[in-house]
Amino acid sequence: MKKGLFLFLTFLLALSSLLAGCGDDSNKSNSGGDSKSGGTLVFARGGDSTSLDPITSTEGETFRVTDNIFENLLEYGETDTTIQPSLAESWDVSSDGLVYTFKLLKGVKFHDGTEFNADAVVYNFDRWMNGDVDKFPYYTMFGDFKGKEGAVIKEVKAVDANTVQFTLTRSQAPAHPVGTGPFQFVEWKESDKIVLKKFKDYHVKGEPKLDGVIFRVIPDNSARLNALKGGEVDVIDGLNPSDESKVSGDSSLQIIKRPSMNVGYLGFNVETKPFDNKLVRQALNMAIDKNALIKAFYAGQAIPAKNAMPPSIEGYNDAVVDYKYDLTAAKAKLAEAGFPNGFTIDLWAMPVARPYMPEAQKVAEVIQANFKEIGVTVTVKTEEWATYLDDAAKGNLSMFMLGWTGDNGDADNFLYTLLDKDSIGGNNYSRYSNDALHDILIKAQTESDPAKRNDLYKQAQVIIHDDAPWVPLVHSTPLMAAGENVKGYVAHPTGSESFKGVSLK
Partner 1 sequence: MKNEEIVEKEKTPFREFWESFRANRLALVGLGIVFFFIVIAIFAPLLTSYAPDSQNLADRLLPPSASHYFGTDDFGRDLFTRVVYGARLSLWVGFLSVLGSALIGTFLGIVAGYYGKWLDTIISRFFDILLAFPSILLAIAIVAILGPSLQNALIAIAIVNVPTFGRLVRSKVLSVKQEEYILAARAIGMGDTRILTHHILPNSIAPVIVQGTLAIATAIIEAAALGFLGMGAQAPMPEWGKMLADSRQYLTDAPGTLFFPGFAIMFTVLGFNLIGDGLRDALDPKMK
Under the rule (CB under 8 A), what is the footprint of partner 1? 220-222, 240, 242-243, 246, 289, 292-293, 295-296, 361-362, 364-366, 368-369, 372, 379-380, 382
Asked if residues 312 and 260 have their Cβ atoms less than 8 Å apart, the reply is yes
Q: Given the complex with partner 1, which of 159 and 292 has the nearer CB atom?
A: 292
Q: Given the complex with partner 1, which of 137 and 342 has the nearer CB atom?
A: 342
Cβ at position 292, least distance to partner 1 in Å: 4
Asked if residues 447 and 456 have their Cβ atoms less than 8 Å apart, the reply is yes
Cβ at position 297, least distance to partner 1 in Å: 8
Cβ at position 147, least distance to partner 1 in Å: 45
Q: What is the sign of the dihedral through the CA atoms of 422, 310, 46 and 378?
A: negative
Rounded Cα distance, 435 and 444, in Å: 14
Q: Given the complex with partner 1, which of 106 and 295 has the nearer CB atom?
A: 295
Cβ at position 330, least distance to partner 1 in Å: 17
Cβ at position 400, least distance to partner 1 in Å: 16
Of 37, 77, 48, which Cα lies nearest the Cα of 498? 77
Rounded Cα distance, 268 and 254, in Å: 38
Q: Given the complex with partner 1, which of 67 and 243 has the nearer CB atom?
A: 243
Q: Given the complex with partner 1, which of 52 and 380 has the nearer CB atom?
A: 380
Provide the 10 A C-beta neighbour count for residue 343. Answer: 16
Helix (H) or strand (E) run with residue 461 in it: helix 450-467
Rounded Cα distance, 434 and 283, in Å: 20
Cβ at position 269, least distance to partner 1 in Å: 21
Cβ at position 296, least distance to partner 1 in Å: 4
* CA distances, 43 to each of 78, 214, 263, 455, 502 (Å): 19, 6, 24, 41, 12
Q: Given the complex with partner 1, which of 157 and 295 has the nearer CB atom?
A: 295
Cβ at position 377, least distance to partner 1 in Å: 11
Cβ at position 294, least distance to partner 1 in Å: 10
From first CA to last CA, the distance across the chain in angstroms is 40
Residue 424 is given by DSSP the state B
Q: Provide the β-strand partners of residue 195.
A: 187, 214
Q: Given the complex with partner 1, which of 292 and 490 has the nearer CB atom?
A: 292
Q: What are phi and psi of 471, to 5 degrees?
A: -105, 105
Cβ at position 402, least distance to partner 1 in Å: 19
Long-range contacts of 332-337, Cβ-Cβ distance < 8 Å, separation of 24 or more: 333/279, 333/282, 333/283, 333/286, 334/279, 334/280, 334/283, 334/374, 334/375, 334/376, 336/279, 337/274, 337/277, 337/279, 337/280, 337/283
Q: Given the complex with partner 1, which of 224 and 333 has the nearer CB atom?
A: 224
Cβ at position 248, least distance to partner 1 in Å: 15
Q: What are phi and psi of 354, to 5 degrees?
A: -115, 155
Q: Given the complex with partner 1, which of 243 and 407 has the nearer CB atom?
A: 243
Asked if residues 488 and 39 have their Cβ atoms less than 8 Å apart, the reply is no
Is the peptide bond between 182 and the residue preceding it cis, with omega within 30 degrees of 0? no
Q: Given the complex with partner 1, which of 255 and 299 has the nearer CB atom?
A: 299
Helix, coil or strand: residue 298: coil
Residue 113 is given by DSSP the state S
Q: What are phi and psi of 479, to 5 degrees?
A: -110, 140
Work out whether strand 212-217 and strand 40-45 pair parallel, antiparallel, or are unpaired. Answer: parallel
Rounded Cα distance, 180 and 71, in Å: 6
Cβ at position 114, least distance to partner 1 in Å: 46
Rounded Cα distance, 471 and 376, in Å: 15
Cβ at position 205, least distance to partner 1 in Å: 44
Helix, coil or strand: residue 276: coil
Q: Given the complex with partner 1, which of 322 and 365 has the nearer CB atom?
A: 365
Q: Given the complex with partner 1, which of 228 and 270 has the nearer CB atom?
A: 228
Q: Given the complex with partner 1, which of 6 and 400 has the nearer CB atom?
A: 400
